Amino acid sequence: MPRPRSFSETDIAAAALAVIDHGGLAALSMRAVAVRLGLGTMSLYRYVSDREQLEGLVVDLVLSAVDTTPPPDLPWNEQLTVLVERARDAVAAHPQVVPLTLTHRHTSASVLRWAEAVLGVLTAAGFTGDRRAVALRCLLGHLIGSIQMDHLGPLSGAGTEAMARLSPEAHPLLAETAHGAREIGAGDEFRGGLHILLLGLRASLDEATEAGPEVTNR
């Protein structure tokens, strides 16, 4: 009789990710992953303790290939752009995983490595204290929110089409905006929003620098 096959954490994470990609996050269960691996459900518990550990393995797998080394010869705002775009490229391929990046942000080695790199760029630029913490959250918010919006309600989708047909008398600005927004691609939307965010971070940093050290650290 052949010996039972052994599975690595990468094998298990890949199986769990396949379950999520196929059936959504709600489909993820120990049983579903075990079936995909050709195991009995109880046998999977030899490798992982519960669904929470499965989720963490999936997050690490999705983000494991992200290069977190900032390009050394670019200004800080362009370094951040590169780091955020790299993370987006990895996560956008598996949009159902996005909520897990939030719930496992404090335990996933891949998320922690990316956040440390972003904080390193912010610190070198002069962000400290509360401003640095808020800046990181703003970047995370844009990254996660843009992927979710593109997945659930893209500008090229039916929702924008419906708003473009609104009565110009009742909703003139919304109808006009939606009419043009139908032509904005997901990448352009993401990069445009990130550009605006980084302009705001630069203005915040300039304001703090002009106000002195006691404000910079807040």
Entry pTM: 0.88
CATH homologous superfamily for the domain 9-62? Homeodomain-like (1.10.10.60)
* Predicted local confidence at residue 146, as pLDDT: 93
Residue 123 CA to residue 68 CA, distance in Å, equals: 15
φ/ψ of residue 87, rounded to 5: -65, -40
User: pLDDT 10s per residue in the chain (218 long)?
Assistant: 344 568 999 999 999 999 999 999 999 999 999 999 999 999 999 999 999 999 999 999 999 989 999 999 999 999 999 999 999 999 999 999 999 998 998 889 999 999 999 999 999 999 999 999 999 999 999 999 999 998 888 998 999 999 999 999 999 999 999 999 999 999 999 999 999 999 999 999 998 777 765 554 55
- The per-residue pLDDT for 2 is 42
Integer Cα distance of 19 and 13 in angstroms: 10
Q: Give me the architecture of the 67-152+185-216 domain, per CATH.
A: Orthogonal Bundle (1.10)
The token duo for 59 is: 């997050």
pLDDT of residue 1: 36
Domain ranges of the chain: 9-62, 67-152+185-216
Determine the pLDDT at residue 214.
Answer: 55
